[in-house]
Amino acid sequence: MKNSTLISLWFVSLLLLIGLTLYNSLNLKREEIVTIDSDKVISTDSITTQQEFYSVAVSSMISPLETLRGYGPLLEQLEARLGRQIRLIQRRTYQEVNDLIEAGKVDIGFICTLAYVKASEFGAQLVAVPQVDGNASYQAYVITRKDSGIYSLEQLKGKRFAFTDPISFSGHLALLGELHKLNATPENYFASTFFTYSHDNSLRAVHDGIVDGATMDSLVFYATAMIYPELTENLQVVHVSPMVGSPPVVARPGMSEEEFELIRRIFLYMHNEPEGREALDTLYVDRFVMGDDAHYNYIRKLRQELEFGSYAD
């Protein structure tokens, strides 16, 4: 009996150890910074603006593994053209990335549109925006399963729903605006809600039946359909938002004009080089183009209508 108890305890401990190992391998800790070659970790406290490397943050619009898979080639091209090492920083929330940009601990950020609207208020500079399938704009999609019998936003009332991030336009704010038109809030409209903290996680939550619907980035939906068609073949789009400017690349406040223009040129002309073209193809991006801050005014107006963050942030 004693041996049986010991074996049981050992087995449970082994399962816990395996579970923790898997969890840690799939979730970046808040303190971690991942480099391009994925073998070095540094603390944000050691980041300064006077260094031999550039720190680049990619907001968690897609999960960490997909970020490394998709953005790795592009960041390698950026590293080669800048002549400095690139350190990739990832954080769980959009706000954490914005905080690092504002503090000058991130030089270049790939961020979402509502995060950009907020970042522009503390001086982040618009570098460029991706053009996908000929367009430098995107929408929020509300998605459901085709076999769910849910074909409209109205039919999602009383259902389980996933948002992406509190300061995501396509993953939060756009739908808050639609609910506002109905004099509703997520709390009184849906049976339950939660944040997934990446658009591909939201898509998978619907695909796996964890939730009945989700709001997400149309560009991520498009890329997922290209890369993993089995994940989208049973999904449908039941509601779309107005078009807004695509999620931009930004530079930290205070970056010199010389540095800023160099980085902008690299992005704008990357598609002309074979290696750059290959990196862009990995992300299903045609090219980067000049951004227009006015293309985000719809988001600013929507925030204003929702009383500057009491409901939107």
Q: Write out pLDDT tens, residues 74-133.
A: 999 999 999 999 999 988 899 999 999 999 999 999 999 999 999 999 999 999 999 999
Q: For residue 313, is it within any domain?
A: no
Same domain, 70 and 209: no
| Confidence at residue 78, expressed as pLDDT on a 0 to 100 scale | 93
Task: Let me know: does 246 contact 140? Beta carbons within 8 Å.
Answer: no
CA angle 171, 33, 285 (to 5 degrees): 50
Close Cβ partners of 293 (under 8 Å, ≥ 6 residues apart): 120, 126
Reported as type and span, the H/E element at residue 239 is strand 235-240
On the question of pLDDT at 147 being above 70, the answer is yes
| Confidence at residue 283, expressed as pLDDT on a 0 to 100 scale | 87
Closest C-alpha to 205, from 149, 162, 262, 268: 162
Residue range 181-191, pLDDT digits in tens: 999 999 999 99
Q: For residue 310, is it within any domain?
A: no
Lowest mean pLDDT among 64-68, 171-175, 265-269: 64-68
- Across the chain, what does the average pLDDT equal? 84
Residue range 234-274, pLDDT digits in tens: 999 999 999 999 999 999 999 999 999 999 999 999 999 99
d(CA 33, CA 63): 15
What is the C-alpha end-to-end distance of the chain, expressed in Å?
A: 57
Choose the final residue of a domain: 241, 261, 280: 241
| Confidence at residue 63, expressed as pLDDT on a 0 to 100 scale | 65
Q: For residue 178, is it within any domain?
A: yes
Same domain, 125 and 50: yes
Percentage of the chain beyond pLDDT 90 is 72
Same domain, 256 and 127: yes
| Confidence at residue 203, expressed as pLDDT on a 0 to 100 scale | 97
On the question of pLDDT at 160 being above 90, the answer is yes
Close Cβ partners of 191 (under 8 Å, ≥ 6 residues apart): 158, 159, 160, 161
Lowest mean pLDDT among 3-17, 84-98, 201-215: 3-17
Q: Give the CATH number of the domain where residue 148 resides.
A: 3.40.190.10
The mean pLDDT of 193-197, rounded to a whole number, is 96
Same domain, 82 and 112: yes
Q: Count of CB atoms within 10 A of residue 255's CB? A: 21
Closest C-alpha to 267, from 245, 289, 300, 235: 289
Same domain, 73 and 154: no
Task: Let me know: does 98 contact 60? Beta carbons within 8 Å.
Answer: no
Q: For residue 21, is it within any domain?
A: yes
DSSP 91-154: -SSHHHHHHHHHTTS-SEEE--HHHHHHHHTTT-EEEEEEEBTTBSEE-EEEEEEGGGT--SSG
**Which letter, b or e, does each residue of 67-77 get, where b requires 16 or more Cβ atoms within 10 Å of its Cβ?**
bbebbbbbbeb
Choose the final residue of a domain: 215, 241, 267: 241
Q: Which two tokens stand for residue 206?
A: 């619907």
Domain range holding 15?
1-29
Same domain, 85 and 221: no
Same domain, 71 and 195: no
Single pTM value for the model: 0.80
Q: Which two tokens stand for residue 170?
A: 């396509």
Choose the final residue of a domain: 241, 269, 290: 241
| Confidence at residue 234, expressed as pLDDT on a 0 to 100 scale | 97
On the question of pLDDT at 233 being above 80, the answer is yes
| Confidence at residue 254, expressed as pLDDT on a 0 to 100 scale | 95
Q: For residue 311, is it within any domain?
A: no
Same domain, 146 and 188: yes
Which amino acid would we find at residue 89?
A: I
Question: What is the β-pairing status of strands 125-131 and 287-289?
Answer: antiparallel
The mean pLDDT of 287-294, rounded to a whole number, is 96
Same domain, 167 and 256: no
Q: What is the Cα gyration radius of the chain?
A: 21
Q: Which two tokens stand for residue 81?
A: 């053209």
Q: For residue 312, is it within any domain?
A: no
d(CA 148, CA 6): 47
Residue range 33-55, pLDDT digits in tens: 333 333 333 333 433 444 678 99
On the question of pLDDT at 309 being above 60, the answer is no
Same domain, 110 and 80: yes
Same domain, 47 and 90: yes
Percentage of the chain beyond pLDDT 70 is 80
Close Cβ partners of 35 (under 8 Å, ≥ 6 residues apart): 41, 42, 85, 86, 87, 88
| Confidence at residue 102, expressed as pLDDT on a 0 to 100 scale | 97
The count of structural domains within the chain is 3
Closest C-alpha to 73, from 270, 292, 244: 270
Please provide the size of the chain in residues: 313
Same domain, 150 and 83: no
